[in-house]
Structure 1
């Protein structure tokens, strides 16, 4: 036979068995799309900050200056200092309180920039346009919330209540400001008596370490009059913050991407292998009319390869389309603009899936090519004698309708195909269970990091550089106590470099966060031990234990910087889940009274009574405090990662589940076509459509039960491994409740997912069997 004959044989099979070809195409589409998405995310989390920093000319140092102490010429002259490679500004700025989209955003720094471009810190617009006149503002993209371009933002903290029209949203890779206005707007946003300030953005030749950045800042300070520099922020601080935000995301992306790829590989291999085995009879016919073993294998590989190639190409397109919104959301987490899926991700995904498909088909096709024609026809025509008869006899004795008994015994006549069905259902059910478990675990991680459920409202200073007076502090406490929705609140001190302490065995400073009252209700998750309950007790993060070599239950001393030789002996009673790059310590004001002072007051964490609306509560407190107050009630903004992660989990799980359902459809369809003669006989003897439907659907009942028993422990194990990997990358331990997300009632309900996957795949062939007339069924055979 010629090569053309092999091609014709393959193309004939594609046109005749359209359903099988469509199944292969769609399975490869879903698998390739998930592979592209996973690889794109892996590429996106590979040092995203540094790549974006270079692409958008991020500022090495953001210096805030008092323009009443330094004139324009003096500020411009700093651009010629040794080591300065670029400078932008000065951009006048004002710190105000903003309410937008119904949320009290709290203190925000608004800078006056004529355009988003510039030699340093190019601002990336994600929506709208740059301010063109007074009364307009562009907000940081992370503050969008439920608001939209064109909505009004209320500004308080300045004489009179003002509002600005939000004309756009943007992000700065180095976070130089929280919003941008036209140059003429800043003077109207400054409160009375507030000194005029502006920001200068610098890039230096050497700014790769903290010591180099400190030297750069000192050079600028020395070039300006004394007291002109009121603050300076290093790009390294911004990088560490971005790394902290992504510490949880990176292992999640890696873990789920690898799991999704593994599931896709197995589903594709099962579907293709089953399809090859199903065509043994056809291969036997081809050999009987003169096809050589090589031509038989080539014709079948071509028949598999054509729809597989179409599925891979379509999957690459779908994967790139799906990556657009996911990467767009991820860019908001890092503040890095709009990343895109690299071209290599599509090429690698398509090549990998197509290679996998051909390897899965090659082995069975070569074996079939070597089979004698008679044996190949027999292998594809009917199961081996004796297979499934015992199960059939047992099924007939069960108190079940006869069609159901026949269907239950059907998988045992083709054990390999039954195993394929079990595997396909198990993958889909595992994906569903794993998605639910990981979403629950991430919800608990979010609560532990943001305290969003226990602390829906916080009271924070309008300007973090200005400490509220004792009178203003007393007014704030009185306002909180007077509000009917207040359940409890506690003062929070420190949490920054100003409250760093020294601990023997730890070379770097330890950040201390001090609570004024009982703080056990805040909801911090404990990895080991318990929350402190009396003076002298502290809880620490994992970095503290790693650096010190201490363990829960040990005692140590804590020294306050600048306090001479005074030291306090403390006992570590718990390890808290709080991923940080540096060691942290948490305790009460009675343990470290030297840090629980008003100059270290960070604010108040507030719990509300059930039914109290956080937004309305924050607005009421701010109204009671008045515009002149140095305090602002705000609703803490959580990381956008968790919303992105949840949608991504759902998307990837859906893709795997679709592939699994198609795998079931393929195997049930092949079984139905093989037994179409029996089906025609049954119908001729009086089997009703409903009985035919029940017979075909029940073929998946036993595989679904076995798959559920496999999927439940597999999903639990995958969740535990993924959460542990997330915590390990974040240099933290894992609280027990993060992985205890499968109580028995939930696990029982989720196990029904195996049945849902089985039904989704079995119903189309079952519906065809129910509608088919006896003559049609016999003719099809």
Structure 2
């Protein structure tokens, strides 16, 4: 053991640079994985983030005005109480959109269930009509700080002072009122009741705490109870896609990081073959050699992992931008401590396993250092290389290309390890491009209409269409109706829509088949086809109330609504079964670049209170956090690729030391020898870029379309990066690799002949 430690110490002093590289590589990879975990937790669990930052209440209890909710502080397991706050129901209108709301009276932001301002300011007693809107309600009303809200039926107005996030259940039209914080003086004198928030010692005892609270106050005093599990389930339901995408990237980054570490250790062991032979010649057994390398690299890995964990814990939250915010929030989420411990431990164990394999190979090295030098230097030139030299191509380029692919297995392994992070970056760019398409071309993903209008019974169908068509920003008005239908043998319902007419058909976005053009023809979403286990071309019979409706599915449309469980036909086809059918809504197509807010406000004003205008929800709005997260993951993958590239450069330079004498003997200058190594590195990077792009593009399309199918939207939504962007990506990768290889290659080319002889002896 003493001899082992002494050799390890001597090796460390001799190869400080390699040891430092292994430590920094391990620290970089572990830090990358920790940052990826932080980004994952930050983006996939926004509700938990808001709940943690706002000290959210586990239970909100609504009571009548005569109840005494202050007694709830006496319930066992309650650590703190928010409120009670007076409440009142109301209806607010903004830009023609109405929403039912709950006005909650408060002056200062509460300590428990504190709203987190995302825009504007908090309430001010100097502005008695100011309110703060919960973010989901603000989006539904298209309201921003400074906007004026009206209360229909009254002359009163409220001014939006701010928008805030809350961990309470979100606004749902027709099901749950939106949350509005206001000064108590702004509430009607006859309040609707009170609401109290309870924060518990053990969140899992929520049901027991609610039972005790209801028993304490009396069953008749409690009007509504909402628990944190319900709010979390509603909020997390919209983040399934985000979680799946980030989970895929996290898994890919872990595999790429592990392969990068394995490549770095294998390269270092190959660089010590002469030292290993000397050790065996002086009496070291294969087991001792294995232990030397295993202990060394496990120690390096442990030092790097501890360094990464310490830096992430101490400085991670200070990183500028969203990444620092993600780390800061992640540190307050449940499971942070376990992840901070598990990720470095898993990395060290993985490195120990890969080191054991490489060390086992080192233990099999023969104790005769001269045998390796007897091998042909650089390998024999291939016929293609000899032909290229015969064409008088630059010898440095030909030899560099030959050097990059001389050892096929090793070259293929290097290309594969470098191609994996590049492949994942291509997938990430494809995801980014697909999200941009959702925003820039919504008509291609089933969102041809920008506004939905509903009119009351006082207006006739021709009158409504004429009123809407008078707006110069409206290019088309499509009458429509949506009803619930029951398919035979199904216990659930599907959405049956009639949109447009035969003369003016609605522009459905098709991924398969053709548009409906004749009577009883329809298009269906992927979710409906999967539900009924049918394909395009079949006839289906469904029940609409007590009337049967038979339709021929001639195409599959991209349907972002109702999980794709939608079948759409024309109004004329539905009227054949029900001649008295009237449109219940109108879908408006707008001119390119038209402002939805202004068009909605203008239509509302021209309708004199007889129409309600709503914006068509774009599913990409819920994916906005994914942009910053994808950018962060691209940075993590780039770091892993950089580590692998530095490993490949180190191995190429070290192996080139044996060929240095031969290259100088044939008359190559140091600059040409440097060009050989740079060209070899550039060829390796180019091969990795080609492989990563060739595999990444179809993989990205398959993954995105598979997610589209599973969500019911349907395949056909994936879009890859533009060819120009892919070319720029490839050029940057190759030029970056060549630039990184230039300095170590130049240093190696200028080594003295005596040093070169010692390296190959």
TM-score, shorter chain, exceeding 0.5: yes
User: In structure 1, which of residues 587, 591, 600 is the aligned counterpart of residue 569 of structure 2?
Assistant: 587
In the alignment, what sits opposite 1:504?
488
In the alignment, what sits opposite 2:733?
757
Shift of 1:408: 1.6
Shift of 1:699: 0.6
Residues in 1 aligned to 2:658 and 2:18: alpha-carbon distance in whole angstroms:
19
Equivalences, count: 709
Residues in 2 aligned to 1:597 and 1:49: alpha-carbon distance in whole angstroms:
46
In the alignment, what sits opposite 2:390?
397
In the alignment, what sits opposite 1:214?
none
Contact 1:108–1:179 (CA under 8 A) maintained in structure 2: no
Residues in 2 aligned to 1:481 and 1:342: alpha-carbon distance in whole angstroms:
56
In the alignment, what sits opposite 1:741?
720
Shift of 1:486: 1.9
Shift of 1:698: 0.7
Residues in 2 aligned to 1:460 and 1:281: alpha-carbon distance in whole angstroms:
80
Local SS of the residue matching 2:249: helix
In the alignment, what sits opposite 1:270?
263
Contact 1:529–1:574 (CA under 8 A) maintained in structure 2: yes
RMSD of the alignment, in Å?
5.2
Contact 1:89–1:200 (CA under 8 A) maintained in structure 2: yes
| 1:490-529 pair list within 5 angstroms | 490-494=478-482, 499-517=483-501, 525-529=509-513
Contact 2:33–2:343 (CA under 8 A) maintained in structure 1: yes
Contact 2:401–2:680 (CA under 8 A) maintained in structure 1: yes
Residues in 2 aligned to 1:689 and 1:500: alpha-carbon distance in whole angstroms:
79
In the alignment, what sits opposite 1:181?
182
User: In structure 2, which of residues 590, 593, 600 is the aligned counterpart of residue 608 of structure 1?
Assistant: 590
CA gap 1:583/1:53 in 2 versus in 1, 3 angstroms: farther
Local SS of the residue matching 1:349: helix
Residues in 2 aligned to 1:523 and 1:16: alpha-carbon distance in whole angstroms:
72
In the superposition, the TM-score normalised over structure 1's length comes to 0.74
Local SS of the residue matching 1:511: strand
What per-residue deviation string (whole Å, max 9, x for no partner) do you get for residues 116-149 of structure 1?
7699xx465255875353243333345788x9x9
CA gap 1:167/1:182 in 2 versus in 1, 3 angstroms: farther
Q: Which has the higher contact order (CA 8 A, sep 6+)?
A: 1
Shift of 1:238: 7.0
* 1:558 counterpart = 2:558: no
In the alignment, what sits opposite 2:209?
none
Q: Which deviates more from structure 2 when the two are superposed, residues 591-600 or residues 475-484? A: 591-600
Q: Which deviates more from structure 2 when the two are superposed, residues 273-282 or residues 241-250? A: 241-250
In the alignment, what sits opposite 1:109?
101
CA gap 1:33/1:759 in 2 versus in 1, 3 angstroms: same
| 1:304-319 pair list within 5 angstroms | 304-316=297-309
Residues in 1 aligned to 2:460 and 2:8: alpha-carbon distance in whole angstroms:
83
* 1:649 counterpart = 2:630: yes
Contact 2:43–2:629 (CA under 8 A) maintained in structure 1: no
CA gap 1:567/1:764 in 2 versus in 1, 3 angstroms: closer
Local SS of the residue matching 2:413: helix
Q: Which runs of 5+ in 2 are unaligned?
A: 73-77, 172-176, 199-218
In the alignment, what sits opposite 2:475?
487
CA gap 1:560/1:413 in 2 versus in 1, 3 angstroms: closer
| 1:429-440 pair list within 5 angstroms | 429-440=422-433
Local SS of the residue matching 1:93: strand
What per-residue deviation string (whole Å, max 9, x for no partner) do you get for residues 178-217 of structure 1?
43222322459xxxxxx986797999xxxxxxxxxxxxxx
CA gap 1:550/1:155 in 2 versus in 1, 3 angstroms: same
CA gap 1:759/1:573 in 2 versus in 1, 3 angstroms: same
User: In structure 1, which of residues 521, 527, 540 is the aligned counterpart of residue 524 of structure 2?
Assistant: 540
What per-residue deviation string (whole Å, max 9, x for no partner) do you get for residues 340-389 of structure 1?
663222333222221221221222222323433324x654x685567244
Contact 1:60–1:234 (CA under 8 A) maintained in structure 2: yes
Residues in 2 aligned to 1:92 and 1:338: alpha-carbon distance in whole angstroms:
34
CA gap 1:492/1:184 in 2 versus in 1, 3 angstroms: farther
User: In structure 2, which of residues 357, 367, 372 is the aligned counterpart of residue 363 of structure 1?
Assistant: 357
Residues in 1 aligned to 2:580 and 2:326: alpha-carbon distance in whole angstroms:
40
In the alignment, what sits opposite 2:696?
715
CA gap 1:638/1:370 in 2 versus in 1, 3 angstroms: closer
In the alignment, what sits opposite 1:256?
249
In the alignment, what sits opposite 2:75?
none
User: In structure 2, which of residues 525, 537, 548 is the aligned counterpart of residue 567 of structure 1?
Assistant: 548
Residues in 2 aligned to 1:455 and 1:482: alpha-carbon distance in whole angstroms:
19
Contact 2:22–2:301 (CA under 8 A) maintained in structure 1: yes
Residues in 1 aligned to 2:718 and 2:564: alpha-carbon distance in whole angstroms:
25
Shift of 1:430: 1.3
In the alignment, what sits opposite 1:354?
348
CA gap 1:551/1:125 in 2 versus in 1, 3 angstroms: same
Contact 1:297–1:369 (CA under 8 A) maintained in structure 2: yes
Q: Which deviates more from structure 2 when the two are superposed, residues 523-532 or residues 590-599? A: 590-599
Q: Which deviates more from structure 2 when the two are superposed, residues 236-245 or residues 169-178? A: 236-245
Residues in 2 aligned to 1:382 and 1:143: alpha-carbon distance in whole angstroms:
77
Residues in 1 aligned to 2:57 and 2:503: alpha-carbon distance in whole angstroms:
43
In the alignment, what sits opposite 1:93?
89
* 1:675 counterpart = 2:618: no
Local SS of the residue matching 1:374: coil
Contact 1:93–1:109 (CA under 8 A) maintained in structure 2: yes
What per-residue deviation string (whole Å, max 9, x for no partner) do you get for residues 214-259 of structure 1?
xxxxxxxx979xxxx9x99999997786465234334323333322
